[in-house]
Structure 1
């Protein structure tokens, strides 16, 4: 008799792709962007969901009803899935997907102890070219599924530990944790952690890596309007896995660095920040901005050493 299977897909688009190939088993959609905003360790707890709702309400004006209908309802559906013998994770290689994945594994460790957990890897992905599941053909998805990797106890402990560090109030221990990865199951973790650390503000000008890349893109390209800019950022920064709404929010925080968004042009201040002649840290800093469990502006990323520096108050 064939064992029953539960598929957990990162986002509705992957869910639809799996339904299209008529894969056997139940499919649950993970609808979160845990790479943004404050997170707490115990995924699924009352404190966890309250913290997440507060973030979405403050940052995206999300109503309680919308949060319940879109995110919590599907999570509750996940909680009801208790009979399957194998749980298969479909998470892409970008930062957003990988952070979601380790959170889900942490949840599975607590609430589905002893179950077989497997990860589907896109074999076409590497550190330079990002090819996600949605770009894959039907036959490719089935091939990836057949080659899925089963996680052992050490794999699960490792992913859970990274999640704990991600949710801690200091990101410093994340700097070397990837060196303890001895499994082929987490081929994107090192890249994910390094990308995450670069999201803290740069020591040079107070903007993080993505924010500086946005300024460089505007400086080097002719961009028609805000929508054109978002499209170009999305295309050039696939490593983050962000959606349009996240970039709109990001640009709003950076609006003082633009003199116009139609066409898109840097302000004098924006040019000075890009050239490291002006530090924007004091103007963009917020005590309410978190990356995981850490305050974003309590640490600086030192480009020369590729290390974080804690700011003492």
Structure 2
């Protein structure tokens, strides 16, 4: 049986190579939680726009080979595809992207698609993600929490993707209030609730992330590394890295809320 594993990052790939799990691997090197999106994720325009954004904001000059060229693997005739994504917003949006990519492919034969999505790990009370696990621990996840996604899961993913892309806070709030079935996407609701906070703003026009970063900054923590670590201690639901938080800090600086930071 031919198997493809779509991994959430290179840290997971490093540990995955230590396992005895069969199959090919692809790393989903994207940041769909940031930047312009459209619902038609299989379109050339979608990836052209993403390439421009990644190049301009993340200064990445290998996006074509690291991400776009890898998409061809999703059209290959695998019997099974395993999605390895975590609980945070960054990963959940990437998961939605992958699921909707498969959903939009005009293929007569679809593989069985399974999800490995840990929100916690035994004896790791401050579990942050699969990048901190070794090969044996990834095998534990594969053997114990892997679930095959159903048609209903893909319906939910399509609904959530459209809501995320459209970015309407009222629509997302309504969906969170009324949807009572999340299928096997057990981490999606909390991630979308975190996204809702990004869409809602206070009287100063700041969303939740900007408010939290500004609060930390105003408390006297102005060193970039310490400020970000303080944010991550309470807001791991977002899963944002340094560059993503840099975007918010630049926004705050542009609005006149911050002085230049030390790094």
Question: Taking structure 2 as the reference length, what is the TM-score of the superposition?
Answer: 0.85
Establish whether residue 91 from structure 1 lines up as the match of residue 85 from structure 2: yes
Out of 100, 107, 110, the position equivalent to 2:101 is 107
Q: Which of residues 135, 139, 143 in structure 2 aligns to 1:138? A: 135
1:169 & 1:137 partners in 2: Cα distance?
A: 37
Shift, 1:180, TM fit? 2.6
Q: Deviations over 1:268-306 (max 9, x none)?
A: xxxxxxxxxxxxxxxxxxxxxxxxxxxxxxxxxxxxxxx
Answer 1 or 2: which has greater helix percent.
Answer: 2
Where structure 1 has 5 or more consecutive residues not aligned to the other structure, the ranges are: 264-313
8 Å CA contact 1:230, 1:248 repeated in 2: no
1:119 match: secondary structure: strand
Classify 1:123/1:172 alpha carbon distance in 2 versus 1 (closer, same or farther; 3 Å): closer
- Point out where structure 2 has 5 or more consecutive residues left out of the alignment: none
- Give 1 or 2: higher strand fraction: 1
The superposition leaves residues 101-145 of structure 1 with CA deviations (integer Å, 9 ceiling, x where unpaired) of: 0111111123255321111132626xx955311233433321211
SS in structure 1 of the partner of residue 17 of structure 2:
helix
CA RMSD of aligned residues (A): 2.5
Distance 2:46 2:187 in 1: 25
Question: Counterparts of 1:203 and 1:231 in 2: how far apart (Å)?
Answer: 24
What does residue 270 of structure 1 align with? none
Question: Does residue 198 of structure 2 align to residue 199 of structure 1?
Answer: yes
Asked if 1:39 corresponds to 2:37, the answer is yes
Residue 119 of structure 2 contacts residue 187 of structure 2 at CA under 8 Å; is this kept in 1?
no
TM-score (structure 1 length as normaliser): 0.73
CA spacing shift, 1:187–1:129, aligned 2, 3 Å: farther
Residue 72 (structure 1) aligned with residue 71 (structure 2): no
Q: Does 1:257 align with 2:254?
A: no
In structure 2, what is the Cα distance between the partners aligned to 1:27 and 1:56? Answer: 22
User: Which structure has the larger Rg over C-alpha atoms?
Assistant: 1
Count the aligned residue pairs: 255
**CA 1:33–1:123: 2 relative to 1, 3 Å:** closer
Shift of 1:235: 4.0
Alignment of 1:139-288 (within 5 A): 139-147=136-144, 148-168=146-166, 170-178=168-176, 179-223=178-222, 225-255=223-253, 256-262=256-262
Cα displacement (A) at 1:218:
2.1
* Partners of 1:252 and 1:201 in 2: CA distance: 19
Distance apart, 1:16 and its partner CA: 1.7
Q: Where has structure 1 moved over 4 Å in runs of 4 or more?
A: none
